[in-house]
Structure 1
Amino acid sequence: MKIKKKYCGHVIIVGKANVGKSTLLNNIIGKKISIVSRKKNTTQSNITGIKTEDNYQSIYIDTPGVVFDKNNNQMKHHKNNFYQTTQIATLIIFIIDRIDWTIHDEIILNEIKKTKIPILIIINKIDKISNKIILLPFINFLKKKIDFIEILPISAKKISNLILLKNIIKSYLPENCHIYPECYITTNSDFFTVSEIIREQLILFLGDELPSIIKVEIESFKKKEKIALYIKAIIWVKNVRQKSIVIGHNGEKIKKISMISRNNIEKKFYIKTHLVLWVKDKN
């Protein structure tokens, strides 16, 4: 009997903050594994998503939005995670926001060019471009930058061109054994997943009142047989003022955040959940 060849590789997703990297990852995987919001720097750590289709396994790494120094427009290398991930990459997906090419995009491109790894550029949010005719000259402009393997206009939210994107990625996967079982869709731990569910609600409820770099620490995570989940989490803020913002008047905000987070955890883990949130300041 002929053994089927298997293909597997790492695909790194890079770009500025809020260009739609996490939305794209969630739609490729078909499940929400990375939280999304309109707030910059929502993604704080590399998120790994795994998509196995027949003999192809693509391992996607969603990197946080590239951080720049406000004073000199230089990349803050210690805060940008994609440097380490490119060492194992088969392909780099570079996402840009519509036809808004900035100096930061130029800097990111110049950096990833140095890796000599094939680059696929995605022009995202094309659903927000009313006059699609302007796309063609912009694509020609990009073609002069580097020999991209493909320049693909998409709408990550509306999943346009997703099948084409997957097929392009598959064509670049090297012949390799699969690293993860077919049922795996992420390497996120339960602790990390819960902390992200809580942090997503903090971002949604607090909006611009607090920075998105707010930290959530899972202090305890206990499962009582298959009956219930008991979780204690600490929300770390910088000072007393931020603490009062998170708690809200008479504790109204923290109660709502806790209630919705608990409901979302129950939906994720299919188990009754008891959630206790504490807000602490670092001072």
Structure 2
Amino acid sequence: MREPRCGLVTILGRPNVGKSTLLNRLVGEKISITSSRAQTTRHRLLGIKTGEQAQIVYVDTPGLHADNKNMMNRQMNRVAAASLLGVDCIVLLITAGGWVEADEHPLRLVSRQEIPVILAINKIDQMKDRRRLLPLIEESGGKMNFASIVPVAARTGVNLDDLEKAILEHLPHQPPLYPADQITDRNERFLAAELVREQIFRGFHQEIPYATAVSIDKFKRVKGLLMIEATIWVEKEGQKPILIGKNGERLKTVGTRARLAMQKIFAAKVHLSLWIKVREAWSENERALRSLGYTEEN
């Protein structure tokens, strides 16, 4: 019997191309939060898929920005770039809408790497005319020498088996890096904070989601009940009433939806308490970013 394959695969691309949706679909579990808004993913995290003959360790990354207009963007770019180090393969993600200017920065970054790069063209389920796909594949082949080009639909799972087969060709024969039942490197406290932040991104518009961060103050199991207390940090005093809403309804909605998501993932009843506090300009303060878990490794 041949030794199983195992390796690390970074998923890279501009913001909002579907990297987290792809990761969740490939692993078969929700481990990375999603929304229709850019910059939902701020951290690097691993999604681990273990089969009979292979273990693929996917690395989800924040979307790459061509500009570094603020410290948060610079931090996310550093995390994404660092995620290319020591991996066996890269999946560069674009959408079936075609190449746009924002795709060029990730393309330049991967073209400098000396490891196989697979191009995944996502959201083919949203194409009105599939005849446009072949010209896009041909155009993409002229951009760089991709190891493979695979059209996929992360939302529905179309062609993900083909993508996985293409990835496996580039992974070394070696024993698994993680236990078979482990699906991520992140702990439950991290996931709880992310699930709160996900509901903020889904429930609010304009600047509010980008001005928020979430920290977990308490995470304790008591007789089968998960007691979780979390603080939502905002940058301005005026953002607090927007998050709270009339009679507290908007904050209550965020809490209810986050709690239900936690119960599904943690397989336990959850009691969730949320507070909102102000930390002026936290996204432009390196010390504040580090205290909230935003480091180059994360």
**Normalised by the shorter chain, which TM-score bucket?**
over 0.9
Cα distance in 2 between the residues matched to 1:103 and 1:21: 18
Q: What are the residue-to-residue correspondences of 1:56-95 with 2, within 5 Å? A: 56-69=54-67, 76=74, 79-95=77-93
* Number of the residue aligned with 1:268: 265
**Displacement, 1:101?**
1.0
State the AA in 1 paired with 2:198.
Answer: E
* Number of the residue aligned with 2:232: 235
Aligned: 1:172 with 2:152: no
* Number of the residue aligned with 1:191: 189
* Number of the residue aligned with 1:182: 180
State the AA in 1 paired with 2:271.
Answer: H
**Displacement, 1:209?**
5.4
Task: Classify 1:186/1:78 alpha carbon distance in 2 versus 1 (closer, same or farther; 3 Å).
Answer: closer
Aligned: 1:163 with 2:165: no
**Displacement, 1:166?**
1.2
Structure 1, gaps ≥5 residues long? none
State the AA in 1 paired with 2:231.
Answer: I
Normalised by the length of structure 2, the TM-score is 0.88
State the AA in 2 paired with 1:240.
Answer: E
* Number of the residue aligned with 2:295: none
State the AA in 2 paired with 1:216.
Answer: V
State the AA in 1 paired with 2:117.
Answer: I
State the AA in 2 paired with 1:239.
Answer: K
Q: How many residues align?
A: 277
Cα distance in 2 between the residues matched to 1:93 and 1:154: 12
Q: What are the residue-to-residue correspondences of 1:205-244 with 2, within 5 Å? A: 205-208=203-206, 210-212=208-210, 214-224=212-222, 226-244=223-241
Asked whether the equivalents of residues 42 and 213 of structure 1 are also in contact (C-alpha less than 8 Å), the reply is no
Cα distance in 2 between the residues matched to 1:138 and 1:4: 38
**Displacement, 1:213?**
5.1
- Tell me which moved more, 240-249 or 62-71: 62-71
State the AA in 2 paired with 1:266.
Answer: Q
Task: Classify 1:100/1:248 alpha carbon distance in 2 versus 1 (closer, same or farther; 3 Å).
Answer: same
Paired residue secondary structure (1:231): strand
Map Cα deviations across residues 127-183 of structure 1 (whole Å, 9 max, x no partner).
Answer: 221111122122111112211111111111111111111111112110112110111
* Number of the residue aligned with 2:254: 257
Aligned: 1:280 with 2:277: yes
Cα distance in 1 between the residues matched to 2:155 and 2:76: 31
Paired residue secondary structure (1:280): strand
4+ long deviations beyond 2 Å: 75-80
**Root-mean-square deviation over aligned CA pairs:** 1.8
**Displacement, 1:32?**
0.9
Cα distance in 2 between the residues matched to 1:246 and 1:220: 21
Asked whether the equivalents of residues 216 and 233 of structure 1 are also in contact (C-alpha less than 8 Å), the reply is yes
State the AA in 1 paired with 2:108.
Answer: N
Aligned: 1:38 with 2:40: no
Identical residues among aligned pairs (%): 36
State the AA in 2 paired with 1:237.
Answer: V
Cα distance in 1 between the residues matched to 2:11 and 2:148: 15
From 8, 11, 14, give the equivalent of 1:13. Answer: 11
From 105, 108, 132, give the equivalent of 1:107. Answer: 105
Cα distance in 2 between the residues matched to 1:22 and 1:219: 26
**Displacement, 1:253?**
0.9
Paired residue secondary structure (2:88): strand
Cα distance in 1 between the residues matched to 2:200 and 2:142: 42
Map Cα deviations across residues 41-69 of structure 1 (whole Å, 9 max, x no partner).
Answer: 00010121000111201000010111222
Cα distance in 2 between the residues matched to 1:78 and 1:217: 18
Asked whether the equivalents of residues 120 and 149 of structure 1 are also in contact (C-alpha less than 8 Å), the reply is yes
Paired residue secondary structure (2:83): helix
**Displacement, 1:216?**
0.4
Structure 2, gaps ≥5 residues long? 281-298
Asked whether the equivalents of residues 44 and 213 of structure 1 are also in contact (C-alpha less than 8 Å), the reply is no
- Tell me which moved more, 128-137 or 148-157: 128-137
* Number of the residue aligned with 1:152: 150
- Tell me which moved more, 75-84 or 259-268: 75-84
